[in-house]
Amino acid sequence: MMPVTEQKSSENPTKLVVESVSRSFRSLANNRRPQFTQVLNDISFTIRAGEIVSVVGLSGCGKTTLLRIVGGLLSPDSGTLRVDDREVKGPGLDRAIVFQQPSLLPWHNALRNVEFGLELKKVAKGVRARKAREALRLVGLGDYEKYYPKQLSGGMQQRVGLARALAVEPEILLMDEPFSALDAQTREELQAELLELNAKTRKTIMFVTHDLDEAIYLSDRVLVLLPRPGRVQAMVEVDLPRPRADLLDIKSDPAFIKARDIVAREIRAGGDRS
């Protein structure tokens, strides 16, 4: 493990501003007439440089939709997004997404898979191999560049997916339940590694998860969304210093328990009202 210095992201400049974002989807009602369902309603929040902010809420509250909008894969019906005070529309090299499944190409080895991600992002050919190698090293797979996906464990495959996102050197990493398909032990290893990576690179991270322990453990702040339509209920501060102890040890810390209780109550508060 690399020694890491304590980091105070609460004093950092703003990296991402999401302002009044709303989004509806068209669907067919029982009478086959198209109808619009509002999935996100007037969502506003900011993330500071180097911060990890998790997004939690009941299933269907719009977490993935919000992450896809921030990643530029979906457009909002209204509202704006700014990265470093520049308005962004659509995808860009400043944001990279890590999904639940890494979707690696089975016929390419780890290095080629990461290079392929760079190719899709139109990064110049001459620098792809170097950047791909650097990213694989960053996720601890420096010795595995020649391995094919089927020769790698689920956790290692997800690391390749993470390397593919990191290789483009994004300003913001958008992670959509990236560890939820992994077994508990691998998941905890990757959570700890993500904290280390954040400490080393000071990457800004937006992290969607169902798992409240994961949200509290990783995050500086937790954004709680309520469903139907998805809206902001609270932004909860996690008052735990960095670097953080292992999840097992930190779970009994009063600050961890307090933050978890607040987040759980905020999620329920919305349920009680609807």
Ligand X SMILES: Nc1ncnc2c1ncn2[C@@H]1O[C@H](COP(=O)(O)OP(=O)(O)OP(=O)(O)O)[C@@H](O)[C@H]1O
Q: Where do contacts with ligand X occur on this chain (CB under 6 A)?
A: 25, 27, 39, 57, 59-65, 210
How far is it, in rounded angstroms, from Cα 64 to Cα 74? 10
Which is closer to ligand X, CB of 199 or CB of 224? 224
- Least distance from ligand X to the Cβ atom of residue 73, Å: 10
Q: Which is nearer to ligand X, 27 or 252 (CB)?
A: 27
Residue 41 tokens read as 């309603």
Smallest distance, ligand X to C-beta of residue 228, A: 8
Judging by DSSP bridges, how do beta strands 52-56 and 204-208 pair with one another? parallel
Q: How far is the CB of 245 from ligand X (least distance, A)?
A: 28
Closer residue to ligand X, CB minimum distance, 25 or 239: 25
Question: Shortest Cβ distance from residue 93 to ligand X (Å)?
Answer: 24
Nearer to ligand X, 210 or 265 (CB): 210
Q: How far is the CB of 177 from ligand X (least distance, A)?
A: 7
CB 118 within 8 A of CB 128: yes
Question: Minimum distance between the CB of residue 65 and ligand X, rounded to whole angstroms?
Answer: 3
Q: Please, which residue, 60 or 91, has the CB nearer to ligand X?
A: 60
Nearer Cβ to ligand X, position 98 or 197?
98
Structure tokens at 170: 């994004």
Sheet holding 172-176, edge to edge: 95-98, 172-176, 204-208, 52-56, 221-226, 231-237
CA pair distance 208, 53, nearest whole angstrom: 9
